[in-house]
Structure 1
Amino acid sequence: MTEYVSTTTGLYPLPDWAKDELSSLKGHQKHDLIGGDEGEEITTAYEEAREEVVDVQRETGLDRVVEGQLRWDDMLAHPLAVHDAVETRGIVRYYDNNNFYREPVVQDELDVSGDVAGELESAADLTDDLQAVLPGPYSLAELATDEYYGDDADFLAAIADFLAGELEAFPAHETLYLLEPSLVEDAPGDGEDERASEAIDRVASATDADVVVHPYWGALSEKVYAHLLDADIDAVGFDFVANQEDNLYNVQEYGTTDDISLGLVDGQNTLVEEPEAVRDRVDWVEDQLPVSEFETVYLTTNTETFYLPYNKYEAKLEALAEAAALANAEVTTT
């Protein structure tokens, strides 16, 4: 029997009050804040904001609750940007949109920082349904600049080891989402695609939780997708908002994992989907796939939601939770 699980890809927008307060405290906008060395007032504001976004997820009935990654001013680059072995330099455009991050330049050996683990420890006190979120190793390596390891393959392996070390320090969590947009946006070439899969496998092996690798902003190329299936992961994510045809083709041609993550709610568009419409999209996808039944189907946003106004982000969460509830109710009655 399939279980439908509502969740998100994390990286939430700040509550409006926190955005205003943090801007005032730091004297500039949130995306200019330097993480990792905040003063007491900044730390308190983030703690209160974290409690709020966790409460919102619990109140809406989401099955998996994320910490929110509200301190991730450099977005997916955050775990490196706050590391002592990394120098952050100029502002870089985040893929092809209007968000930016500080370029993380690795200048020394990467060891465990514990930064993300500390955030999750705080969130674990607020929920029993914790989902961890990390950048995938390939995306993090692509967003960074290497001035220490000297070889692309060695650098990717070092990033994977770094993330695995961070992950081993996490509190208990139900699910781990590895966000891998670079697998789509900066697709690895021959040889590198296999190394990317091995790096993902290395990170996934560091947790007992269910691991979902979630690319987005399109579909994976056939070779990248085929290699990704070689990794010991529980589910592959598909951005059905950005590209339906190629994502369906990959599953129809190469199959997929026993679980699946469906990015059906637009994390960037302010138009709020109706729960019934999301449920219909699930049916439509499942009708196109050769797999008769998945063990778990994750219903999620296709991308992070930090692009959205706070009230729209809340409404999207409600739609996901209600859509999963509708799907589970139908399973129970059939």
Structure 2
Amino acid sequence: MVPLQNAPSAPLPETLVDLLGLNADNPLHFFLAAIIASALVGTFMLTNTALVIWAKRKITAAFTDRIAINRVGPFGLLIIVADAVRLLSKELIVPEKVDRPAYDLAPLVLASSALLGFAVIPMGNGIQVADPETGLAYVFAVASIASIGLVMAGYASNNKYSFLGSLRAVAQNLAYEIPLVLTGASVVIFAGTLQMSEIVAAQTETLFSIGGLAIPSWYAFVNPFAFVLFMVANLAEVGRNPFDIPEAPTEIVAGYQTEYSSVYFVLLYLGEFIHVFLGGAIIATIFLGGPAGPVLPGIVWFVIKIWGVFLFTQWARSALPRVRIDQLIEIGWKGMLVLSLANLVLTAVLVGVVV
């Protein structure tokens, strides 16, 4: 491990202030640096999300022993451009009697809530827009705003399938957000802080060595039970099998997004995958040491880790059958909630005894 090399330093706006020769005491200059930093991080994540359009098909085809796209550009990579042109050039069809303000705002709410979450994620040495002391609480708070977007989209569409999708989304998010937060709280007990950079710094020590190989004190190794719980709850939060109940194509067409087309559909689609990456970024930060890793730059390790989580979600999507809505609720309230509470209590006891 090379923790000092990859440990996050000053937030990106402060670094840009120094690089651009701006005055940090000038609020306008600092605001400009914050806007540039947000644009850089947003562009980076949107680029990764665009690659998902290609990677999703390739990975799913590999899991199901099929041939994916291979004719649109080298290895089918230009499918990203083809899909963008195809979707954005389609007519925006708005059904009659929709609740127009909510219908228009829902895609923006869904996509922006995920992008806002990346503001406090340390992606590498100095690649972090902000580093508040309540960083983890902030991430959970802004990520939950997506639920409002799903409800707005389903309710405003004037479509029974969309409405069913939004109701399922509410039931699912309520059932799994609480275990997600409780499991995250167990990491806070270990780290003693909500600040994302400090959580990463707390994982830079060596847990133990095996044959000269140093095992880092990532919380995935310290508390693998919490790691598994968080991974399962994250599948529900990002709507991946076996918890893709809000969309369920074979049951309710496409759920909350049934009546959306053109650029609105693109925003919903992007928002969904940005949330997958946000879930991966949270897991990488609080369980896998964030950008820490040997030899390679921190940002490279960070990308490898979030793509690893994405690969897991795609495996789940291809391998696991969808559960029924009653089974989903039972798993959430009777299984995940109880297990996450038990994990939280046991973690508190363990830390209390050790300390």
Instruction: Indicate whether the TM-score tops 0.5.
Output: no
* Larger Rg over CA atoms: 2
Higher relative contact order (CA 8 A, sep 6+): 2
